[in-house]
Amino acid sequence: DENISKALPAIHFLTGSDVTSKVGTKPAALKVKPEYIQGLATFGENLSDENCSKAEVFLVQVLKSGSKCMTMNKFRNWMYHHSKSAQISSLPPTSHLLTDHIKRAHLATYQVQHVLDEEAVTLDPLQYGYMKDPTNDSLIPKQDIRIWPEDLIKQCTCKTCSQASCGCKQSGQHCISFCKCTSLQTNKCKNPFLKESELLEAMLN
């Protein structure tokens, strides 16, 4: 298929190369359903929101073929709650971090596609997921050093959150999807996250 052939450079750089980070494997990438691969046919031509979205969905499929998740954030959440061995440190990158990876893959794909084109526009790496190393001015992948906000409350490790020692209860916050009580899926949490409609009802009562 012509579209699949066009997508090969994108597949190479999105899943990892000498200039991009590893996300999944090449064998897994080639087993992804054709419709997701064909969606990469124009990757490298322009960095549109649509192409970025297709690249993100493709990488989700590389990591979990057949997944219904459309973003890496949703896939991370699914992994955390459905994988027995999942730890936060072993989860794939967030959608926010993946954006810079996709930008670097786009840059590399564009450069390969236009390597013999003398009139090709030279793209600025600083606009495509790179930053200058402050020590020697060389290009390095852009880094988001702040892993989480300083005021972010750490998820609790309770099973039912019925005791005052629950970290979420101590902070006056409801439990979130990453708390252990939620991941157990027993619906026994005494401090559950409230949907907007439930929260409004609770405030009125």
86-138 pLDDT, tens digit per residue, is: 777 788 999 999 999 999 999 999 999 999 999 999 999 999 999 999 899 89
The pLDDT assigned to 194 comes to: 65
> What's the pTM?
0.75
Please tell me which residue, 25 or 182, carries the higher pLDDT value: 25
Same-domain pairing of 46 and 20: yes
To the nearest whole percent, how much of the chain has pLDDT over 70? 87
Structural domain range at position 186: 148-205
Same domain, 137 and 152: no
pLDDT (0 to 100) of residue 104: 98
Q: Do 153 and 136 reside in the same domain of the chain?
A: no
Distance between CA atoms of residues 98 and 103, nearest Å: 9
- How far apart CA 109 and CA 112 sit, in angstroms, is 5
Give yes or no: residues 95 and 188 share one domain.
Answer: no
User: Do 173 and 137 share a structural domain?
Assistant: no
Per the prediction, the chain carries an average pLDDT of 86
**Residue carrying the six token digits 């000498």:** 18
* Helix, strand, coil fractions of the chain, as percent rounded to 5: 45, 5, 50
13-17, 43-47, 57-61, 174-178 — which is least confidently predicted? 174-178
Residue 81 tokens read as 């709650």
Residues 198 and 119: their CA atoms lie apart, in Å, by 59
pLDDT of residue 203: 47
Considering only CA atoms, which of 36, 62, 56, 144 is closest in space to residue 105?
Answer: 56
